[in-house]
Amino acid sequence: MNVVIVGGRVRMEYRYRDICREYGCEAKIYTQPKSNLEYMIGIPDLIVLFTNPVAHEMVHIVKKRAAAKAIPLVQSSCASCNSLRNILAEAVG
């Protein structure tokens, strides 16, 4: 399963990637605004959006991309490791 994580803490990127590996997922992680984020997202199986620590522009781009390509989008205001584990456990099943 391919997962894109948008938002979260910069210092947690490696932890997010390790957690995704635990669930057998490949992860792209974007914690900082990028000029071409919409195209960098691609068409993953799931987008995880951590809404609290993220730029508003990134939120709009992600929501627009998810709606246009019918990509499942899970939003969480908490960018913790446990939050990501809960999201992946539910998504992977």
Instruction: Report whether 73 contacts 58 (CB < 8 A).
Output: no
The whole-number average pLDDT for the span 52-61 is: 90
What is the number of domains present in the chain? 1
Q: Is the pLDDT of residue 59 over 80?
A: yes
Global pTM reads 0.94
Instruction: Indicate which CATH number applies to the domain containing 7.
Output: 3.40.50.720
**Which are the contacts of 13, defined by CB distance < 8 A and separation ≥ 6?**
29, 31
The residue segments making up the domain with residue 76 are 2-92
- Is 15 within 8 Å of 88 (Cβ atoms)? no
* Chain segment 63-83, per-residue pLDDT in tens: 999 999 999 999 999 999 999
C-alpha to C-alpha distance for 22 and 75, rounded to whole angstroms: 20
Q: Note the pLDDT tens digit of each residue in 6-54.
A: 999 999 999 999 999 999 999 999 999 988 999 999 999 999 999 988 8
pLDDT of 93:
75
